[in-house]
Amino acid sequence: MLQAGLARPARSSNAAVCSLVQRLGGIRAERLEWAHASLAARLTDYRPEQLENALQRDKILLRLWGVGGAEMIVHRADAPAQVAAAADEAIQWARFLDANLSIDGARRSQIMGELLPGPFSRSDVARRFERFLHLTGKAPPAVVYQKIIREAGARGLLLWCNGEGNASRYCSTESWLGEVITPKADLPCLLKTYLSAYPPAPIPDIANCLGISPAAVRPMLEEVGAVEIDVEGKPAWILESDLPGLKKAPPLASTPAFALPEQDPLLTACLSRDRLGTALSAAFPSSGETPGTVWIEGRLIATWRREADVAEVRPIGRATPPPRALAAAFAQGEPRLRPRLVR
């Protein structure tokens, strides 16, 4: 938690937001409110316009597609490596579209060429496809041909430029940045970023987040200066230069209370259910999406889900979170939500 920016929140600014996103390796952003909550839990006095400035005014941060088909906010300097890492996703989306559309890859490229440089909306994509689908008589669900955005995004051809949900708009990376994103495979760099932010890490978690096999991870560990250590009887890896940091972590009792959204980087990076404590493993015994989490004194004590402006908090086990600590947790990361205990 210290390395992920949660144990000692830094003071927020436009520059601090950009630096934090780069240090974390990116933030999931299928919903922009998740990114705001993740940043607010790590930065004191965080304001949403700080992220919005970095995305739209300064263009230091980019919202595009990464490994696992996830929409991500990443630092511009890391975009070539992120796009290269998502190359397999682009192939998978192409195969999906080949199987579900009566329009081949060449025709999809033609349609995308008509939409770019943009901006264009999801509705614009639907209208372009319907012109061709009418001729073939084969019309899949509208959600299928929205995937052309992900196919092009995973290739680094386009990115998000404004809007949210169905109102999202996209444009070419060249028109937005003044240059194209040239994919540059640099898995060692991504591995080093991951180990810097989420140590100590077991190999399966590293492999999942990088989108590669465990066997491909092993030879890179020595290359980036990682060493194996024992964590409660299980092997994990940490950068040798970060070993002293294990001794500098603050006591659990002094860790600020915080609430994390369901797709916070800490949760998506630590896929092993028991890695963040037995409570997480007990609360989520199977893989898949998790609800939001509440942490007090460095321990997971509850989960929560959003209902309008209320956070429905479900304690884990029989202990009830202290009201003052619970209020402090949401004040840090989700200040607009009112926590309410439910069983």
pLDDT tens for the chain, 343 residues: list them. Answer: 888 889 888 899 999 999 999 999 999 998 899 999 999 999 999 999 999 999 999 999 999 988 777 889 999 999 999 999 888 888 888 888 888 777 788 888 888 888 999 899 988 887 877 766 655 555 566 667 778 888 899 899 999 999 988 889 999 999 999 999 999 989 899 999 999 999 999 999 999 888 888 999 999 999 999 999 998 888 999 999 998 887 777 787 788 899 999 889 988 888 776 777 766 666 665 555 668 899 998 888 999 988 888 999 999 888 788 889 999 999 888 888 899 998 7
* Strands 338-341 and 310-315, sheet pairing: parallel
> How many residues are present in the chain?
343
Q: Which residue has the tokens 């990116």?
A: 26
pLDDT of amino acid 256: 87
Give SS3 for 172: strand
Helices (H) and strands (E) in the chain, counts: 17, 15
Domain boundaries, the chain: 84-177, 187-250, 252-341
pLDDT of amino acid 103: 76
pLDDT of amino acid 142: 62
| Residue 248: CA count within 13 A, CB half-sphere | 7
pLDDT of amino acid 51: 96
CA atoms of 149 and 158, how far apart (whole Å): 8
CATH topology of domain 187-250: Arc Repressor Mutant, subunit A (1.10.10)
Q: How far is CA 313 from the centre of its chain?
A: 23
Q: How many CB atoms are closer than 10 A to CB 105?
A: 13
What are the start-end ranges of the E strands in 69-176?
Answer: 71-75, 120-121, 158-162, 169-172
CA atoms of 150 and 66, how far apart (whole Å): 10
H runs (alpha helix) in the chain: 14-24, 32-40, 48-52, 79-85, 87-100, 105-115, 122-136, 142-145, 147-154, 173-177, 187-197, 203-210, 214-223, 243-248, 265-269, 278-283, 323-333
In this structure, whether the domain defined by 84-177 belongs to CATH 1.10.260 is answered with no
Domains 84-177 and 187-250 agree in fold: yes
Under 8 Å between Cβ of 54 and 18: yes
Which residues, listed in sequence order, are joined to residue 28 by a DSSP beta bridge? 72
